[in-house]
Amino acid sequence: MNIRVGFGYDIHKLAEGRKFMLGGVQIPGNMGAIGHSDADVIIHAIMDALLGAAGMRDIGNHFPDTDASLKDIDSKILLSKTFSLIKNTGFNIGNIDVTLCLEAPKVSQFIAEMKQILQTILELPSGSLSIKATTNEGMGFVGRNEGVAAYAVAVLFKI
């Protein structure tokens, strides 16, 4: 098949005093995500979507949280490695669409920077990456500001 679609999802708890990375950008504030790496849910969802589309399992298989060398690693490094894996299978990225679910803080002012960083890593032309942010209207884990989640869809095509 020449065109493949993958879906990715990631969620992390939020806690005070943690660095908050989203799409490779540090978001100011007193809350951040808890995780083995830097807990960047946008990048992790993109990675899972890419790996899924390529039929290469998930990020836990390639970058397990039992690997001490990955503790607090910058997720941009993991994304770059994932992109190399994808290219080595003979696929290229068509487009990626991301939805971030976060009650607070508002992140719309950071989306252009996120897109620039991720488009550079993934060698994507402008317009091939969409990042949207929404709230959960106060409902559930995310709505109570206890966590952050991201969903991603990626389209790959055979080179």
Residue 108 domain boundaries? 3-158
Mean pLDDT of 148-156: 99
CATH of the domain at 22: 3.30.1330.50
Segments in 5-152 forming alpha helices (H): 41-53, 59-62, 75-88, 111-121, 140-143
Mean pLDDT of 17-26: 97
The confidence score (pLDDT) of residue 1 equals 64
Give the H or E element holding residue 7.
Answer: strand 3-16
Residue 113 phi/psi, 5° resolution? -65, -40
Q: What is the pLDDT of residues 39-86, one digit of tens each?
A: 999 999 999 999 999 999 999 999 999 999 999 899 999 999 999 999
**Per the structure, how many domains does the chain have?**
1
Q: Which residue has the tokens 């990955």?
A: 70
The confidence score (pLDDT) of residue 159 equals 85
Mean pLDDT of 31-45: 97
